[in-house]
Structure 1
Amino acid sequence: MLTVIVYFYALILGISLIHLAVSAVVTARRMKQKPDLKILNELKSLPRISILKPLKGIDDNLELNLRSFFELDYPDYELIFGLQNTDDPALPIVNKLMMAYPGVNARIVVENSEIGLNPKINNLHNMEKYIRGRYVLISDSNTQVKPEFLNYMLAAILKPDVGLVTATIRGIGAKKLAAIFENLHINTYVSPNVFVADALSGIPVVIGKSILISTQLLKRMGGFKAFKNFLAEDYLLGLKTKSLGLKVSTIPIMVDNVNIEWSLKRFINRHTRWAKIRRNMHIHHYFIESVSNPIALAVILALLLHNALGAGLLLLVTLVKMAHDIYLSRLMKSDLKWYHFFLTPVKDLLISILWFVPFISNTVNWRDNYFKIGKRSELRPLFN
């Protein structure tokens, strides 16, 4: 019986290493592609884009993050900042930037009305009535972009049958251990596997750091209120776009997710929350996902073999995975240091443990809001 189990894990480990190779090849091909801006030259004028910025508290480098959106090289856009109360510490920062950039069309919306359980959707819904653009960019507060960002996003959504565009996420700025874990995971697992999922299965994996959609399509979906009681509103926006016969496009233009001084508690909370979302969206995909962690599989195989061969395989797999992560980080032009990759096995083993959490808990904590999560990430009050 033990021999059968050993062969089984050896087979799964082989599949996992093949997945690493596919991830590297697909990501390399996608990162070489650059959106073509020629389509913008065919327009008499560029359409207005409304940028929605839901805010709550102070994220890492918040002022620099928001400043990058005041410095966009695009002729017609508006910034709408949403807060739920006037004592939010992000408000003085927004006011300071609005004074520093008087030529940028920007406004602040402070409303605490709630239409559902998703606090981000409540904030977006409060901003929705102020949208004046033909397109809407939903952009999280912990992101930075280059001045030409909107041009690339618009060029992608103007292609035939494209309904939604999202950009590639790159984690930057890590100084503390958990932030290094986070940026390692974003740059070497999350972003590459968005490309892999699209290339191999056509699954639109939309991550809500930066989403461009037409105002008309958003209204057709029922507006933000259609997602009021779901945690994975970004992913569901992608699925809804595809169900309406339109394409979701992930472009290899970076939106930088700034993670500097994370605590380990925050890292664990975020990834247990993400794991619970994925487990409740597609349980079969979630089981397949377990094959994508070769270091964890190699540890199990080494324990089963309990000999020098097992230890040697574990060392070899660890070195291969570290080399894979270094290669992908270079493709992403990450700011991770060479010595950060010695943390790869620790991070991967921690992620493998967190993978089991959704099978013993369905409670999520998001910005001090506690819910139970159900099918398709539907939220329910923790206490009825």
Structure 2
Amino acid sequence: MALALCGGAYAVATAVLAGRVLRRAPDPLPAPLPAVTILKPLHGDEPGLEAALASFLTQAYAAPVQLILGLHAEDDPAHAVAVRLRQRFSDRDITVVTDPRLHGANRKISNVINMMPHARHDMLVLSDSDISVGTDYLQAVAASLARPGVGAVSCLYTGRGLATAWSRLAAMDISYRFLPNAVFGIATGLAHPCFGSTIALTRQTLSAIGGFVAFADLLADDYEIGRAVRARGLALAYPPLTASHGCAQASFGALADQELRWARTIRTIDPAGHAGSVVTHALPLGLIGAALLGFSLTACVVLAGLLAARLSLKRRLDHIVGSSAGPSWLLPVRDVLSFGLFAVSLVGSTVDWRGKRLRIGKSGAMSSS
């Protein structure tokens, strides 16, 4: 119950800090705006893929923008989406690259390496295929990257269920577990994360950290890129906006595979921090504590307070980002599920990624399981 109360206090503190990260004044735009190449590695025709990609082509950005869509094979279903998008936006600079070469165990980074010879601009923005953004996205990213001392820009994101109840539960995990944790870490300076939603940097910085080839065998490529930038004495910046991560899980198995991959990756990167994050699971801890205390009156009052803290945090985040990942009544179910998967993530070193079973080494390097 003591751990649960700490988790409740954490939820309240995060609700207060959220505005500091997500509602701060935007950075001034650089003059002139830099030309941008957006790198989108693709694999499979995910639900909502075309709409997500199209959001990067409707930017309010008064400088050249190149979009590169990369695939490993022409028979990949995403190739038809890429061709259709290029026809639909025939007035935009869209390059489709199909190249089967692999440069390491990380197929996404191999895809990006194959795309790089076609990139024409100095400012590079790497973004996962399931990310959607608003029309002011590129302006905000370019403004943050132009700040003195900044080496890379990354963006916080919310979840958006696309199909089933499982996809909605997956979206709620992103919006009400991942996002609060990221907000708290950034606001307090305890964490300097880098996310696959956005990694924006210049060619000069990319070259200084060894290029994308330096991350070709690492599972947590986004985190490692951020760490390499910080190792050069440069800062990571986070513009005051949120992107949207499309969730398309059709079953519990798909949801569990993805969330265990994320959790075990974090455990590999920061085992002490991952274990310590148990305190953020306030409601499940409170339920266990209340059960051990025989659901006494005091225990039930504490449990009600914990539920109120979690619901208040959800409402605060929904208000700031302007959307909801799921209903309030489903939050306790999502919290219990998150705690169960957290417990499972404390053991094991294999992950499922794009249908392949991989083993994560202590260095974060991947190998076939």
> What TM-score comes out, normalization by structure 1 length?
0.91
Offset at residue 317 of structure 1 (A): 1.9
The partner residue of 2:90 within 102, 121, 125 is 102
Per mean C-alpha deviation after superposition, the further-off stretch among 19-28 and 190-199 is: 190-199
1:341-380 map, 5 Å: 341-380=328-367
Distance across 2 between alignment mates of 1:253 and 1:201: 18
Q: Is the Cα–Cα contact under 8 Å of residues 127 and 197 in structure 2 kept in the other structure?
A: yes
User: What is residue 307 of structure 2 aligned with on the other side?
Assistant: 318
User: 5+ residue gaps in structure 2?
Assistant: none
Matched, 1:332 2:339: no
* 1:152 and 2:143 matched: no
Q: 2:239 aligns with which of 242, 247, 251?
A: 251
C-alpha displacement of 1:180: 1.7
Provide the C-alpha distance between the structure 2 equivalents of 1:49 and 1:353, rounded to a whole number of angstroms.
42
CA distance in 2 between counterparts of 1:199 and 1:98 reads 40
Task: Quote how far apart the aligned CAs of 1:173 are.
Answer: 4.3
Matching residue of 1:82: 70
Residue matched to 1:116: 104
Question: How far has the Cα of 1:214 moved from its partner?
Answer: 0.8
Query: Are 2:19 and 1:28 aligned?
Result: yes
Q: Over aligned residue pairs, what C-alpha RMSD do you find?
A: 1.7
Report the more deviating stretch, 326-335 or 222-231. Answer: 326-335
SS at match of 1:35: coil
Is residue 69 of structure 2 the alignment partner of residue 64 of structure 1?
no
Choose from 207, 219, 222 the match for 1:234: 222
Q: Secondary structure at the residue paired with 1:209?
A: coil
Compute the displacement of 1:360 (Å): 2.8
Which of 196, 206, 210 is 1:222 aligned to? 210
Structure 1 unaligned regions, length at least 5: 1-9
- The reply to whether residue 13 of structure 1 matches residue 1 of structure 2 is no
Q: Give the SS at the match of 1:81.
A: strand
Deviations 1:145-164 (A, max 9, x none): 12221111000000010011
Work out whether residues 161 and 170 of structure 2, in 8 Å CA contact, stay in contact via their aligned partners in 1: no
User: Does the CA contact (< 8 Å) of 2:131 and 2:243 recur in 1?
Assistant: yes
TM-superposed CA distance for 1:199, in Å, is 2.4
Q: CA deviation at 1:378?
A: 1.8
- Paired residue for 1:171, among 134, 138, 159? 159
| Deviations 1:334-378 (CA, angstroms, capped at 9, x unpaired) | 1445xx121111111111111122333111110012211122422
Report how far residue 308 of structure 1 moved: 2.7
Name the amino acid aligned to 1:26: L
Q: Is the 8 A contact 1:167 1:253 kept in 2?
A: yes
- Which among 178, 181, 184 is matched to residue 193 of structure 1? 181
Partner of 1:69, secondary structure, is coil
Separation of aligned partners in 2, 1:60 and 1:143: 12
SS at match of 1:137: strand
Residue deviations 1:307-329, cap 9 Å, x none?
33334433432233123212222
Q: Secondary structure at the match of 1:123?
A: helix
Distance (whole Å) between structure 1 residues aligned to residue 70 and residue 352 of structure 2:
21
Matched residue of 1:364: which SS?
Answer: strand
| Pair 1:34–1:59, CA change in 2 (3 A) | farther
Secondary structure in 2 aligned to 1:372? strand
Q: Which residue of 285, 302, 306 maps to 1:297?
A: 285
- Return the alpha-carbon distance in structure 2 between the equivalents of residues 11 and 356 of structure 1: 19
**Residue aligned with 1:170, SS:** strand
How many residues were matched structurally? 367
Shift of 1:261: 5.5
- Distance of 2:257 and 2:347 partners within structure 1: 15
SS in 2 for 1:34: coil
- Tell me which residue corresponds to 2:274: 286
In the alignment, the residues of structure 2 paired with residue 17 and residue 311 of structure 1 have an alpha-carbon distance, to the nearest angstrom, of 14
Deviation at 1:202, TM superposition (A): 4.0
Separation (CA, whole Å) in 1 of partners of 2:333 and 2:181: 20
Task: Tell me, yes or no, if the aligned pair for 2:249 and 2:255 is still in contact at 8 Å.
Answer: no
Shift of 1:210: 1.4
Once structures 1 and 2 are overlaid, which stretch shifts more, 129-138 or 369-378?
A: 369-378
Q: Residue type matched to 1:229 in 2? A: D
- The alpha-carbon deviation at position 301 of structure 1 amounts to 0.5
Contact in 2 for aligned 1:188/1:329 (Cα 8 Å): no
| CA distance, structure 2, for counterparts of residue 174 and residue 88 of structure 1 | 21
Q: Is the 1:51–1:136 Cα contact (8 Å) retained in structure 2?
A: yes
Residue by residue, what CA displacement relative to the aligned partner does 1:39-93 show, whole Å, maximum 9, x if unpaired?
42xx2x3222111010011122111111112222222111111001011111112
